[in-house]
Amino acid sequence: MQAAQRTVLVVDDEDVIRDTVREILADEGYRVIAATKGSEVLRLVTQEAPDVILLDIWMPEMDGIVLLKQIKSAHPDARVIMISGHGSIHTAVTATKLGAFDFIEKPLSLDGLLATIKRACGDARRESTAAEQQLRLHRAPPPWSSAGSADGAVRQKTLRKSVVANGLGLHSGVSTGVILHPLPENSGIHFGGISGDATVPAHLDFVRSTDFATSLRRGGVVVGTVEHLMASLHAYGITNLLIKMYGEIPIMDGSAIEFCRLIEEAGVEEQEGTCPEIVIDRTLSVSGDGPDEIVIEPADVFTVHYRLRYPSPVGSQEYTYIHGGAESFRDEIAPARTFGFLRDFEKLERMGLIKGGRLGNCILIDDERVINTSLRFEDEFARHKILDIVGDFSLMGRPIRGRVRAQMTGHADNIALLRRVAEIYGVPGLETSADIHAAAEPAR
């Protein structure tokens, strides 16, 4: 169905915004109707059956959130995109929980608005507009869209519906949240704010920092602590997704189990396209000055073996994880939590980190024992290190078939080895323009 056959209802009491959006959408071939008051909206929705409703949060007579509830109650299938000049990730999460398709900040971006309306209409495969083509340049193509060295392929996947979660950022201490939106095949995974425009791909090229967590950056979009969510998406085979957030992914309980539950709540949708595997056929390694070393070598299935050794009360731990699909990850690896030593907390606080550290979202260890919880596994620390490796390795953007062996390594080592894999196997990068190249800083 072509865009000319789509109807958009614009609900906004600001004349300039309403008229500007009307003109833009009309130029793109949409049929546009408008309302300035909440009392008009339900009548128009019933009479006109619009494909998409653009609904301002701040409306005379009736709050936009209240109106959203009424629209979804009377018309559960209505696609409502909330817009606001005073929004936040919390407002966006609330609106999404109530059934909003998406949330966009004012001032509205032409590219972001048109792309979001297209997704809401389900017109992912229709011929793109000039604005959307420009947006695609900013959202560089996924790494499987070019030829690479691989001899296997897996089906691409996305989520069946949008879902949300909220919590604290571990290092920022800011109350934040995530909104996971399905994307069509060949889109890749992208992080962005709630403006609906600029994004950063979940890809090795955009790793900004590996200090105590893995962070990404492109231009003004910065996203911290991505590894637990990315590990979960990898385990469920998700290759196409838009992740809206604010600054840092919430730490939840310090593990990835809540992200697994979120994905299962949304459901996984298999798509037509495929994503080629990188098949490891030689041994590659990265070593530090001490005992830390990480190696990848040929294997029939993605496997991670991790060994750590700390003073008492941790001691020596090791675990081998053989990826057998989402269930194996959810049961063996996802519940393993972030851990830290009490003696290190003061140093981290001076560095401006772990502002969101709480007794319920990490394992605290003093010189004698774990002081705030019971371990979920005897080897929970080793399993958590595997969780981090899975998350970091997912930033290749393609599944890897090989065995990882690691000892006393962290995020910087994981990314260093991943860069070697990309170099040896000719994996195409996403830095398609000079401004993208300038924005992506090397890992520390």
Nearest to 80 by CA among 108, 59, 101, 103: 101
Q: pLDDT per residue over 183-241, tens digit each? A: 999 999 999 887 556 889 999 999 999 987 899 999 888 898 999 999 999 999 999 99
Q: Measured between alpha carbons, how far is 223 from 204 in angstroms, rounded to an integer?
A: 13
Statement: residue 128 has pLDDT above 50: no
* Average pLDDT, integer, range 79-87: 82
Asked if residue 109 and residue 56 are part of one domain, the reply reads yes
Residue 351, domain extent: 279-424
Q: What is the DSSP letter of 390?
A: H
Crossing angle of helices 89-97/64-74, nearest 10°?
20
Asked if residue 298 and residue 265 are part of one domain, the reply reads no
Q: Tell me the DSSP string of 40-92.
A: HHHHHHHHH--SEEEEESS-SSS-HHHHHHHHHHH-TT--EEEEESS--HHHH
pLDDT recorded at residue 342: 74
Statement: residue 14 has pLDDT above 90: no
Q: Which of 14-23, 75-84, 230-239, 411-420 has the lowest mean pLDDT?
A: 14-23
Decide the pairing of beta strands 278-279 and 339-341. unpaired
411 is catalytic: yes
Statement: residue 19 has pLDDT above 90: no
Asked if residue 99 and residue 8 are part of one domain, the reply reads yes
Fill in the amino acid letter for 66.
Answer: V
Query: 157 and 270 in contact (C-beta within 8 Å)?
Result: yes
Statement: residue 402 has pLDDT above 50: yes
- pTM score, two decimals? 0.77
Q: pLDDT per residue over 300-311, tens digit each? A: 999 999 999 988
Asked if residue 292 and residue 393 are part of one domain, the reply reads yes
Asked if residue 304 and residue 284 are part of one domain, the reply reads yes
Asked if residue 122 and residue 14 are part of one domain, the reply reads yes
In a domain, 224, yes or no: yes
Q: Measured between alpha carbons, how far is 142 from 154 in angstroms, rounded to an integer?
A: 14
Nearest to 353 by CA among 340, 363, 366, 365: 340
Asked if residue 419 and residue 380 are part of one domain, the reply reads yes
Q: Measured between alpha carbons, how far is 60 from 387 in angstroms, rounded to an integer?
A: 49
Residue 127 CB contacts under 8 Å (≥ 6 apart), including other chains: none
Phi, psi of 404 (to 5 degrees): -100, 130
Nearest to 159 by CA among 90, 243, 93: 243
Q: pLDDT per residue over 161-172, tens digit each? A: 988 887 765 545
Q: How many domains does the chain have?
A: 3
pLDDT recorded at residue 196: 56
CATH of the domain at 218: 3.30.230.20
Which among 203, 228, 323, 411 is annotated as catalytic? 411
Q: Measured between alpha carbons, how far is 203 from 201 in angstroms, rounded to an integer?
A: 5
CATH of the domain at 53: 3.40.50.2300
Asked if residue 153 and residue 73 are part of one domain, the reply reads no
Q: Which residues is 182 bridged to in the sheet?
A: 241
